[in-house]
């Protein structure tokens, strides 16, 4: 099983942004390193302005410019872009059809559920290239 490690500080940042953005979706990126066993360790979170022109309660969007900025930020910090997080206001942390449609291989997708402006469940997924579905990965908060 794949694993992503997030420190308590970074995890509370994701929770904080998710509650701040409520009832809209927040989004951001995780930068860090890939450990020898393939696990990812998050060392920095970068929040990204939700650029969706659709309903921001159900959609988030990371533009190509955001993506390029994040890649160069990762280079600058000598880190790797590990994936993206976003919130699901009043919905469980299960990837939507749209989440799947825009998913890239390798990246981790952390989904933080928020009900009533309070952080709820949080899960992380990675795209399987074989089946083109999301596989849940182990989210370790330490
Ligand atoms: Zn989603």
The CATH superfamily assigned to 3-141 is: Cytidine Deaminase, domain 2 (3.40.140.10)
In the prediction, which pLDDT does 135 show? 96
Ligand 1 centroid, distance to 47 Cα (angstroms): 16
Which pTM value belongs to this model? Answer: 0.94
Query: Ligand 1 being an ion, which residues bring their Cβ within 5 A of it?
Result: 96, 99
Ligand 1 centroid, distance to 74 Cα (angstroms): 23
Ligand 1 centroid, distance to 88 Cα (angstroms): 6
Residue with tokens 């799947």: 100
Ligand 1 centroid, distance to 41 Cα (angstroms): 22
In the prediction, which pLDDT does 119 show? 97
Ligand 1 centroid, distance to 110 Cα (angstroms): 9
The domain segmentation of the chain, as residue ranges, is 3-141
Whether residue 51 has pLDDT greater than 80: no
pLDDT in tens, 70-95: 999 999 999 999 999 999 999 999 99
Q: What is the rounded average pLDDT for all residues in the chain?
A: 94
């Amino acid at each position: 099983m794949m694993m992503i490690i997030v420190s308590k500080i970074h995890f509370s940042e994701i929770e904080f942004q998710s509650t701040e953005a409520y009832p809209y979706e927040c989004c951001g990126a995780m930068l860090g390193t890939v450990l020898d066993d393939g696990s990812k360790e998050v060392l920095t979170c970068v929040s990204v302005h939700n650029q969706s022109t659709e309903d921001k309660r159900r959609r988030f969007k990371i533009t190509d410019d955001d993506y390029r900025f994040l890649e160069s930020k990762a280079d600058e910090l000598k880190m790797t872009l590990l994936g993206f997080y976003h919130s699901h206001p009043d919905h469980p942390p299960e990837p939507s059809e749209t989440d799947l449609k825009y998913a890239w291989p390798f990246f981790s997708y952390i989904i933080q559920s928020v009900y009533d402006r309070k952080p709820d469940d949080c899960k992380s997924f990675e795209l399987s290239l074989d089946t083109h579905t999301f596989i849940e990965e182990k989210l370790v908060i330490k």
